[in-house]
Every structure is written in C-alpha cells, then in structure tokens.
A = this chain, B = another copy of it.
Amino acid sequence: MFDETDQLSVNALRALSIDMIERAGSGHPGLPLDAAPMAYVLYSRHLRVDPQDPEWINRDRFVLSAGHGSALLYSMLHLSGFATSLADLKQFRQLHSKTPGHPERGIVAGVDATTGPLGQGLAMAVGMAMAETHLAAQFNTPQQQVIDHFTYVMCGDGDLMEGISHEAASLAGNLKLNKLIVLYDSNDVSLDGATARTFSDDAQQRFAGYHWDYQKVAAGNDLAAIDAAITAAKATAAPSLIEIKTTIGYGAPKQGTHLVHGAPLGQVDLAATKRNLGWQEAPFTVPAAVQQRFQTQVQQRGHQAHQQWQADLATYQQTQPALAAQLHQALTQELPVDWQADLPQYTLGAGEAGRQTSQKVIQALAAKIPSFWGGAADLASSNKTDIAASGSFSATTRQARNLNFGVREFAEAAAMNGIALHGGTHVFGGTFFVFSDYMRGAIRLAALQHLPVTYIFTHDSLAVGEDGPTHEPVEQLMSLRAMPGISVIRPADPNEAVAAWRLAMTTNDRPTVLVLTRQQLAVLQGSLSQPDGVSRGGYVIAPQQHGTAEGILIASGSEVALAIEAQQRLRKFGHDVKVVSMPCFDRFMQQPVAYREKVLPRQIRRRVSLELGTTLGWERFVGLDGLSLGIESFGASGPAAEVLADYGFTADAVVAAYQKLW
C-alpha cells in the first residue's frame, strides 16, 4: 500500500522542515523528523480536508497539540496544496509571515487551532469532537450524515505530562468520543533530556483508566502499521490513543537526544541528516513525483469528498428543508431575528442576584437559539447555568445542551475553545470566579484566536463570605482586564446583567467574561433610563444635582449601589458628586474621546473608585489626585455583610474617603 514515492514524500516533509528551521535560525527539528511518517499517513490516507476550502465544515479536524512542531505542519500544508507557498516556508518565523513560530489559527489556512502551550491542543480537540457529535445528533438523519467527521490530534510527551491532558482525556472517555483519535509521538525525550528522568507513565494503563482504546505502533517509520492503527481506531466505540514509538530527530547525527529538540541542526548536521535519509534534492526542492503524490492523495481525495458532501447537502436541503435552514443558521452563527424576544426586563423595586438574572437570560436565549449550549465545571447549581428545557449532554444523549465538564475548569475552557473553533454553536461555560485562575491559559488562547465564547463567573467577590479567602476573588477582575482581546463585564444590577449577555451574544471576535454576584442586586434607576450604558463600557448612572459635579464616584458591579448610597450622604455634607457605573473597562476605552470626556471630565479630579478587588488599574480613572477603595489583601471567612464591613465597604467609609481628597 505504501511505495517508494510515499517514503520519498515522508522525507520531503522532513527535508522541507529542517530547511525552514535552518533558514529561520530557530525552531524545533526534533518532532518534524520523527513524526513525519505518522503525519504523512494521516494526511495521505485518512484526513479528509479540501485545501481549496480549508473551512469546509465537515472536514476532519487536525490539531498539532505539540505546536512547536509547526515546521512539519507547514510543510504538509504546502505540499497538500493549501495556501502556504514555498515563499511562505522560506519566511518561517519572520515578522508578518504566514508561517509563525507556532501554528496560529487565522494566520495559516489549514490550521484548525492555535497551539504551543502544551496540552491545550488535545483539550481543544475534545471540544471539537463534542461539537461534531452534538451537531451530528441534531442534523443527521438515518439517510444522510451532513456532519460526520473525525478529529485527529498529534501530541507529544509534554502534552501528556500536562494536567489538562488528564482532564480532557477523562472527559472524552466519559463522553465516549469515539471519533477522536490521538497520535502520540512517543519519543521519550523532552526539552531538558530523556523524559524518563521525570516521566514514566504507562500510557496504556493510564488511558485504560479513562476507558480509551489504545494501540501501540512499535516503529515510527512503519507506514503500514501506522495506517492499520488509524484504520482500527476509526472503528472503535471509544476515543483512541495510538502510541507511536519514534526516535526524536530521526536521521540527524544527534537523533534520540534532546539536542535535536529545539534548535536548528546547523549546516553540518543538516547535510548529514539529509545524507542519512538519502535525500538528494537542493534546499526547498521537492521531486515532482512527491508533489504529484500529495496532489492525488490529499488534495484530490479531499476535494472529491467535499464535492460529494456538497451533492449530499443539496439533496438534504430538498428532503429536509427545515433542518437544512437550521443548519445554515447554525453554521453562519446568525441569531434568529427574535432572539431577544424573551429576555427578562426589570423595573424599579425588583432585584436579584447576578447569577439568577443570567439563569433567566440563559433560558430565554436557549428557547430562541437552538445552537446555544453550555455548562459548568460541576457548579451548574451554583453558577445557574443549566438550560432547564434540556438534558445533559452525554454519550447517549448527544442532542442535549447542558455540558457537564466535571471539576475540570482548564479543560472546560479549552474545550469551549474547541467547540467555538469547530463552529455551528454558541457556547458558554461557568465556574466560580476565583477558579478562573485555573483556566487562564485557555482564556488567553480564546482571546488570541478571537473566539466568541462566554464565561459565566459567579461568586464574584468577598461577598462570597463564609467560604473564605480560597473562594473569594480579589485580583481576578483586574488580572482579566489586563488581558488583550477579551471583554470583561461586571454588571451592577439585573438590567446591566441582561445588557451584558446581549453584548456577549452579539460579539463575534472575542471572548466575553461575565462577572456575576451570588448576592442580591437591586434594580437601579440609572440602568433603566440608559439601556445602552453597558455597551458604552461606562456611563453616568446617577448624575450630580446641579451644574457641574464637584467630584465623581466610579464603581462596578455590586459597588455601584454603594456609590449611589454614598452620593446621597455626601449631599448632606454639601458635596454634589456624580456616580459612574463602569461595568466594562475595555468597551469604555473604545469609546470616542468626547464621550469619555463627558463621563469623566478631565478637570474634575476629585474621584473615588469603589470595587471589591485590587485597586491597581483603577488609577486609569482616578489618576494621581483621586483614590481607590478596594481590596489589597486576601479575603476572610465570615457572613458576607460582616466581611464587607470589615474591609471598609460601607457608605460611611466611601464618604470618609471622598473627604480625604481635600
């Protein structure tokens, strides 16, 4: 089944990869040299992709979890007829090139996920496989499988050392994601040396514990054995791990050692490697037979599959017009025209916890938007994330829309990324705000990939109370605001919470973080009269009484009501201040200067900020002449009201702080 041209093709991938790395003067030759055979078998015999339409929804997904092996992927994309040109390969790791150091989704056509931070690729793939099986359950009929593809991962020892690999694999096993297939490049070497020094897991036993299918390929260059293993993996009822034993840097003089992991081989070793591989072409040159082979085996095979799918889809559109219309809506991420129809509205006098408002919004959205789904990390009952009208997504109930991620926050966030990368749904996920720390690596990759996922972080401050400092967020709010490319919203009342959800649903280019209370929030007059306040990021929620304000109180979330209370007390002392609600720093900074100046006039310097979190960052709005009331230490265990008073969050304390400004 494999001939000499196939072997030559494998070596073409190797040669191109090391040429790229040598030219760039940096990169990782170890993986491309050892994993080229498995990559070749996958792309040439199994992976169903159409280089002419890299975003074909029913393509097989491929995630290079060991993202440092990017040169191999780019070589593959080039030879397979994706947009990556030879010129691009020569620009490897150069500024503004189409071949960055690690695979970047959106920069390189054919890259299904941005990878590099180890372990996350595997977890994103789990999310992709979840999305696939969910969409398949929604849209396939006994006659027609419009969504029916595999998700492949290539990972290394480092990926499997990371904790997220456990969370992801355990979840995938529980969900029986049988169309997830992981090729494990098991080369026993990582950056610092032989993995045995620190890593001696028996992968077979470990993954048996997760109820995965496991196969071992003893020789990483054995194309037929790899092919047979992938073929077998496609037929199992469980996710599959194929452990393929390889020699890192295969062919290089220093093969089998960490010296070939992460730096160019150097001209001498490069030449020796090519000799060892029997490779005789000039740099960046590939024989015509190899080019032809990739054209036939990847490009044409994939394009034909895509054409067949399109023909099937046309039939589907005729036989299942309602489903086809819904599928179209799901894939284009269009919201139904009436998507906001059932959103709750609040009037003065009412009040509820942020998480409760969110719960109502979720029900209203779920009723109108069939592609809306999500869940929590074993905190659905606390985060109020359950869609009451649906069941739990599981191995036997693929259509259900409540995702039970288990106590696995990091994999939750990474799987959400995978779900969003896959396309076809709107996904949300919750946990306690303090545990957003566990997810940070994946939130960052959501932002970097411009993924419109929504995080529901409840229990947003010291008002958590009795659970104490391990469960009380302090620095999380400012720490997330510091991250590029995300929108962080902390609503002050039920109306702001609904508005925040609206923004999340209409934001397509970035993740949205909703920071919600467990405790009651009263409806505020100012949020009623200014429905666009949240979308502006910050707005005057309670103006001064006369003319120009003497000072400004600025707050977010539950502290806005406290600011308004303090405003009223300050009047008794003759201080006429205005109150600004600032639910979202990032959106406020995107407003025109004139608007920002109107809200926070430059000449008014008596400013006090109030927030149950670190003050660092609030100086953006209070400057050198104002001051910030916040939390500069960790919280404490006790009834919420006592904790808040103990930390100085009372109207009297705000009044006293304001009066210090003289």
A619 contacts across to B, CB distance below 8 A: 617, 619-620, 623
Assess the B199–A209 pair: CB atoms within 8 A.
no
Nearest CB in chain B: distance from A353 CB, A: 16
A204 and B209 within 8 A (CB):
yes
Complex: A207 Cα to B209 Cα, angstroms: 8
A585 to chain B: which residues have CB within 8 Å? 616
CB 8 Å contact bits of A447-486 with B (1 = contact, 0 = none): 1100000000000000001111111001100110111110
Number of chain copies forming the complex: 2
> Interface-forming stretch among A39-47, A165-173, A491-499?
A165-173
When the two chains form their complex, are residues B408 and A116 in contact, meaning their CB atoms are under 8 A apart? Answer: no
A24 and B470 contacting across the interface, CB-CB below 8 Å: no
A27 at the binding interface (Cβ < 8 Å): yes
The stretch from A433-441, A531-539, A540-548, A559-567 touching chain B is A433-441
- In the complex, the chain B residue whose C-beta lies closest to that of A403 is B198
Mark contacts of A104-128 with chain B using CB atoms, 8 A cut-off: 1 yes-contact digit, 0 otherwise.
1000000000111111000000000
Instruction: Tell me, rounded to whole Å, the shortest Cβ–Cβ distance linking A182 to chain B.
Output: 15
A9-43 contacts to B, CB under 8 A, are 24, 26-27
A161-B407, A466-B101 known; A471 vs B209 contact (CB < 8 Å): no
**Contact present for A634 and B485 (CB under 8 Å):** yes
* A617 to B618 alpha-carbon distance, docked (Å): 7
Q: Is B468 touching A116 in the complex (CB atoms < 8 A)?
A: yes
Q: Judge whether A624 and B602 touch: CB under 8 Å.
A: yes
Q: Is A284 an interface residue (CB 8 A)?
A: no
Nearest-CB residue, chain B, relative to A199 = B406
Contact residues, A617-659 vs B (CB, 8 A): 617, 619-620, 623-625, 631-634, 636-639, 642-643, 646
Q: A94 — which chain B residues lie within 8 A by C-beta?
A: 637-639, 642
Chain B: minimal CB distance from A558 (Å): 19
What is the 8 Å Cβ interface bit string for chain A, positions 131-175, against chain B (1 contact, 0 not)?
Answer: 000000000000000000000000001110111111100110110
Verify if A3 is at the interface (C-beta below 8 Å from B).
Answer: no
Q: By the criterion CB–CB under 8 Å, are A116 and B199 in contact?
A: no
User: Does A359 lie at the interface of the complex (its beta carbon under 8 Å from any beta carbon of B)?
Assistant: no
With A93-B637, A201-B173, A438-B441 in contact, is A102–B482 under 8 Å at CB? Answer: no
Q: Does A190 reach chain B (CB closer than 8 Å)?
A: yes
Give A24 to B638 CA distance when docked, in angstroms. 9
* A203 CB-CB contact with B under 8 Å: yes
A638/B378 in contact, CB under 8 A: no
When the two chains form their complex, are residues A637 and B97 in contact, meaning their CB atoms are under 8 A apart? yes
CA distance in complex: A171, B636 (Å): 33
Q: Which of A229-237, A248-256, A302-310, A379-387 contacts B (4 or more CB under 8 A)?
A: A379-387
- The contact of A170 among B114, B161, B173, B191, by CB within 8 Å, is B161
Which residues in B have their C-beta under 8 angstroms from that of A639?
94-95
Q: How far is the CA of A484 from the CA of B26 in the complex (A)?
A: 38
Chain B: CB-nearest residue to A262: B382
Q: Are B191 and A171 in contact (CB under 8 A)?
A: no
A209 touches B206 (CB 8 A): yes
Bound form: Cα–Cα A445–B410 in Å: 18
Q: Complex formed: what's the CA distance from A15 to B598 in Å?
A: 61
CB nearest to A411 among chain B residues: B163
CB-CB < 8 A to A405: which residues of B?
Answer: 198
CB of A660 closer than 8 Å to a CB of B:
no
Q: Is the CB of A117 within 8 A of B435?
A: yes
Say yes or no: B192 contacts A171, CB within 8 Å. no
Q: Does A100 touch B at the CB level, under 8 Å?
A: yes
Specify which chain B residues have a CB less than 8 angstroms from the CB of A27 in the assembled complex: 466
Contact count band on A: 35 or more
The answer to whether A245 has its CB under 8 Å from any CB of chain B is no
**Contacts A164-B163, A407-B190 given; does A636 touch B437 at CB 8 Å:** no
Once the chains bind, are B206 and A406 in contact (CB under 8 Å)?
no
Least Cβ distance of A325 to chain B in Å?
33
Decide if A26 touches B466 in the complex (CB within 8 Å): yes
Cα-based distance from A437 to B479 in the complex (angstroms):
11
Q: Counting chain B CB atoms within 10 Å of each CB, which of A174, A204, A434 scores highest?
A: A174
**Alpha-carbon separation in the docked complex, A207 to B210 (Å):** 11
Q: Please, how many angstroms separate the alpha-carbon atoms of A94 and B447 in the complex? A: 40
Which one of A192, A381, A605 has the highest number of Cβ atoms from chain B below 10 Å of its Cβ?
Answer: A192
Chain B residues, CB < 8 A from A199: 170, 174, 406-407
**In the complex, A39→B466 CA distance in Å?**
24
* Chain B residues near A475 (CB-CB < 8 A): 444, 479, 482-484
A521 to B482, CA, bound (A): 26
Bound complex: CA of A602 vs CA of B102, how far in Å?
Answer: 45
Q: Which residues of B contact A162 (CB under 8 A)?
A: 163, 167, 407-408, 438
Q: What separation, in Å, do the CA atoms of A195 and B171 have in the docked complex? A: 11
Expressed in whole angstroms, the minimum distance between the Cβ of A82 and any Cβ of chain B is: 18
B95 and A637 contact, CB distance less than 8 A: yes
Task: Give the residue name and chain of the B residue nearest to A409 (CB).
Answer: B162
Select which of B210, B466, B482, B602 is within 8 A of A614 by beta carbon. Answer: B482
Give the most central of A204, A434, A481, A624: most B CB within 10 Å. Answer: A624
Distance between Cα atoms of A636 and B94 in the complex (Å) = 9
A to B CB contacts below 8 Å, 6 in the list: A94-B639, A96-B636, A101-B471, A203-B209, A205-B208, A478-B617
Pairs of residues from A and B, 4 with the lowest C-beta to C-beta distance, nearest first? A163-B163, A95-B638, A206-B209, A166-B166
